[in-house]
């Protein structure tokens, strides 16, 4: 049974129920709580727009297009507007599959175009500049910051994955980091270079006693690094990177830029293929890695081409 042209109160109640049911379904299907929250924010924004614009339920393709156009005119980036489109597509598909709508308006709405730009990334030289701001014989906070910067770049972990690390997640004998239930709900193991071993040991030996399993702790800012205030949060890591960038005299780079830096460095080295990079980054398929990075890796293509050309020439001699 389909609900048409409900009043404002009925519209609100009906969509609250439908949205909550959809979010429950996403959780049951394995979406992370962070992803479910994202769905809730995107869809709630559309419902608020419908209410303000006086659009009755169910919306048509023209209504969705008007919403997306308004969002773009408000100054949102093309990628953010495309995110609205993806969330609405998933929700309306669910409504159709559950028999709440006869069809999805998204079937007649074109996917917003998103310009492909070179991802902003941290390069090895920039990482070195940031590390130069950290004294080798500094406080436990200095040791923590050094380890965070190294892990962000050399493992390509997402910010939330890094902040959630526990001491037991780093296997120093095998040089592996276990990422517990990362994006997509899957554990994965990521290798790290030998340089991280001493940084990990220095931090664990320097940090104050802590009864919990968490790896990274926050400080109250006192002398010698201060006392432990609690677990370091995502925002705390962002603030730390901002401070280190200021001290190094370089523009601020967001945590995800370290991840981009590792991916592009690996691909440009000519020694890592898409499948390896996809596995390290936790991508569900190489097509995601291809879409994000492959078109910006000319150095790696040139390196592989040169090796192949030399092999051909040597075989001909």
Kindly list the catalytic residues. Answer: 158, 183, 256, 259, 283, 293
Is the CB of residue 18 less than 8 Å from the CB of residue 95?
yes
Give DSSP secondary structure letters for 173-187: TTTEEEETT-TTS--
How is residue 86 written in tokens?
């993806």
Of 204, 205, 213, give the one whose Cα is nearest residue 231.
213
Is the CB of residue 222 less than 8 Å from the CB of residue 159?
no
Is the CB of residue 150 less than 8 Å from the CB of residue 196?
yes
- Cβ-based neighbours of 206, under 8 Å, separated by 6 or more: 139, 140, 143, 225
What is the side-by-side strand order in the sheet with 170-171? 170-171, 176-179, 188-191
């Amino acid at each position: 049974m389909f609900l048409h042209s409900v009043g404002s109160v009925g519209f609100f109640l009906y969509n609250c129920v439908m949205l909550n049911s959809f979010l429950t379904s996403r959780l049951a299907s394995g979406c992370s709580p962070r992803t479910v929250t994202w769905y809730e924010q995107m869809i709630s924004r559309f419902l608020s727009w419908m209410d303000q614009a006086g659009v009755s339920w169910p919306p048509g393709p023209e209504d969705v297009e008007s919403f997306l156009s308004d969002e773009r005119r408000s100054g949102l980036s093309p990628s953010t507007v495309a995110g609205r489109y993806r969330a609405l597509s998933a929700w309306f598909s669910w409504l159709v599959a559950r028999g709440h709508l006869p069809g999805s308006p998204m079937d007649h709405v074109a996917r917003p175009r998103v310009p492909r730009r070179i991802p902003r990334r941290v390069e090895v030289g920039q990482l070195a500049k940031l590390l130069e701001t950290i004294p080798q014989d500094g406080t436990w906070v200095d040791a923590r910051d050094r380890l965070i910067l190294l892990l962000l770049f050399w493992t390509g972990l997402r910010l939330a994955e890094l902040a959630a690390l526990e001491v037991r997640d780093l296997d120093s004998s095998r040089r592996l980091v276990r990422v517990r239930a990362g994006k997509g709900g899957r554990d994965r193991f990521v290798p790290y270079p030998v340089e991280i071993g001493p940084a990990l040991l220095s931090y664990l030996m320097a940090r104050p006693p802590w009864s919990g399993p968490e790896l990274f702790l926050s400080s109250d800012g006192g002398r010698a690094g201060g006392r432990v205030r609690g677990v370091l949060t995502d925002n705390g890591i962002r603030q730390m990177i901002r401070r280190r960038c200021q001290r190094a005299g370089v523009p601020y780079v967001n945590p995800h830029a370290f991840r981009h830096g590792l991916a592009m460095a690996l691909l440009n080295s000519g020694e890592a293929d898409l499948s390896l990079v996809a596995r390290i980054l936790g991508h569900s398929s190489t097509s995601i890695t291809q879409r994000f990075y492959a078109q910006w890796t000319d150095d790696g293509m040139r390196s592989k081409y040169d090796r192949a050309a030399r092999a051909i020439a040597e075989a001909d001699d």
